Amino acid sequence: MSAVLTKAPSDGRIGLRANARHIGALVRRNALQIKQDPESMFDAVLMPIIFILLFVYVFGGAIAGKGNQEDYVNYVTPGLMAMMGLNIAMAVGTGINDDFKKGVMDRFRTMPIARSSVLLAKIVVEVGRMLIATTILLGMGFLLGMEIRTSVLDLLAAVGLSIVFGASLMWIFILLGLTMKTAQAVQGVAMLVLMPLQFGSSIFAPPTSMPGWLETFTDYNPLSNLADAARNLINGGPVAHSVWVTLAWAAGITLVTAPLAVARFRRKT
């Protein structure tokens, strides 16, 4: 035989360094796809601009009182950071569903790489997109009069927290994307879950203004915890409780859905 094979450990397990290299090569693939198709960045770039303008100028006056829009910027921008994460995570689900319809996925799954590396590379790229969206959102916030009332470090902590939480949400949507038949179905289900979670939270308005049953719902909604944590990190206020609850949610979601998603990916035919 003239075939030259790469020698692997006898059980064929993939080492950590090799795994990192594989994820790197797949991240490069995703980045090149964006370069080839820049329109796929529209959501990450335009969504924060449109949402912050909409909420500050359309609802801001009603919620914070006419002329108090600048106060509302400081209230809503940290909340919108949480919302960006949710929206980008949702797009991961439809993306992975589409990806699976292509032959290249068969090639990846017949190669000597950990199957999780395909999913992890996707998450790395989406976290990058989330960072871009958050940066644009904060830039817009500052333009509209937002101010950091604590420190830059606290602001960075708020950004980090929303990214960690957003990344954990991606596993849920990857699982959905791998389970459902079409990208449209994924989008449909995601929207059904997304709308009540987004609006039934403290992202846009203080829950104290809501009826009791809804206030209870928003109290247990992890997006409220994330929005409260980010808001208090930037504006000052108690952070310990909401930060820990958010981190606990992120860890819980990842621990449950990531293994399920990888298993689903493995068994997908």
Query: Residue 47: which of 124, 134, 144 has the closest Cα?
Result: 134
Positions 15 through 74 that interact with another protein (CB under 8 A): 18, 21-22, 24-26, 28-29, 32-33, 36-37
| Residue 129 Cβ vs another protein, minimum distance, rounded to whole Å | 16
Per the listing, tokens 């206030």 go with: 215
The site string for another protein over 239-268 (x = CB under 8 A, - otherwise) reads: ----------------------------x-
Per the listing, tokens 């958050």 go with: 134
Query: Residue 138: which of 240, 39, 234 has the closest Cα?
Result: 234
| Residue 117 Cβ vs another protein, minimum distance, rounded to whole Å | 9
Residue 137 burial class via C-beta count within 10 angstroms: exposed 0-12, middle 13-18, buried 19 and up: buried
The site string for another protein over 94-123 (x = CB under 8 A, - otherwise) reads: --------xxx-xxxxxxxx----------
Distance between CA atoms of residues 189 and 251, nearest Å: 23
| Residue 7 Cβ vs another protein, minimum distance, rounded to whole Å | 9
Q: How many residues bind another protein (CB under 8 A)?
A: 37
Positions 113 through 172 that interact with another protein (CB under 8 A): 113
| Residue 13 Cβ vs another protein, minimum distance, rounded to whole Å | 7
- 55/265 with CB nearer another protein: 265
Distance between CA atoms of residues 207 and 142, nearest Å: 25
Region of 132 (left: φ > 0; alpha: ψ -120 to 50; beta: rest) is alpha
Distance between CA atoms of residues 32 and 30, nearest Å: 5
Query: Should residue 217 be labelled a site residue for another protein when binding is judged by CB under 8 A?
Result: no
Binding site for another protein (CB under 8 A): 1-6, 8, 10-14, 18, 21-22, 24-26, 28-29, 32-33, 36-37, 102-104, 106-113, 267, 269
